[in-house]
Amino acid sequence: MSKCDICRMRKTCELILFEDDDVSVFLTETPAGLGHVIVTTKKHFENLEKAPDYLFAWAFTIANKVSKVMLESVNMQGLNLLIEVGKVGHPIINLVPRFENDNLGMKWDPKPGDQEELKTVQLMYESETKSMGVSEDKPKSAPQETKSDDKEISDKEDYRIKQLLRIP
Ligand SMILES: [Zn+2]
């Protein structure tokens, strides 16, 4: 049988929050803190580029919906989305609630980059990134509410959150 920890957790976990043909969402057995949720693909992928775009889009859609539920359910100060790829054969989105003084040590020290170095990296990336998606079908424009600056939750969004909470 599979020695994959993610598959084992997924199949034996009693803390499943959502599952469909493509993704699985559950509370990890080894949480970084209260309410730590994992969104993962059911299939294995050797590396990131082997996973189809639609699957990432779907996994992030689900992660976003779960995040909204988490933000309403656990009294957190914020939420980090940490993405793991390659290590365990599944792309994993970790939804990690953050609390004051949680000492999770996920800090880095952003500082102004060296302009010459930034330009060099841009040149290395842009030959590929500038033409990204040109030959692909882009999803239709985002729903109106995502264009707002998130100052308040619209009635529409609020309704969806309520609907989500009803899912057993
Ligand atoms: Zn697995």
Distance 68 CA to ligand 1 centre (A): 27
**Residue 125's pLDDT is what?**
82
Distance 50 CA to ligand 1 centre (A): 15
Digit-coded pLDDT (tens) for 102-136 = 888 877 788 888 999 988 988 888 887 787 766 66
Distance 149 CA to ligand 1 centre (A): 38
Distance 49 CA to ligand 1 centre (A): 17
Pair of tokens at residue 118? 């930034």
For residue 16, list its beta bridge partners.
26
Digit-coded pLDDT (tens) for 129-167 = 787 766 666 666 655 554 445 555 454 555 444 444 444
**Is 5-166 in CATH node 3.30.428.10?**
yes
Distance 10 CA to ligand 1 centre (A): 8
Distance 40 CA to ligand 1 centre (A): 9
Average pLDDT over residues 77-103: 87
| Cβ proximity of 98 and 104 under 8 Å | yes
The residue with tokens 């779907």 is: 58
Distance 56 CA to ligand 1 centre (A): 17
151 or 46, higher pLDDT = 46
> Strand 78-84 relative to strand 37-41: parallel, antiparallel, unpaired?
unpaired
- The answer for residues whose C-beta is within 8 angstroms of residue 161's C-beta and 6 or more apart is 68, 69, 72, 153
For residue 96, list its beta bridge partners.
80
Domain regions of the chain by residue span: 5-166
3-state secondary structure at position 117: helix
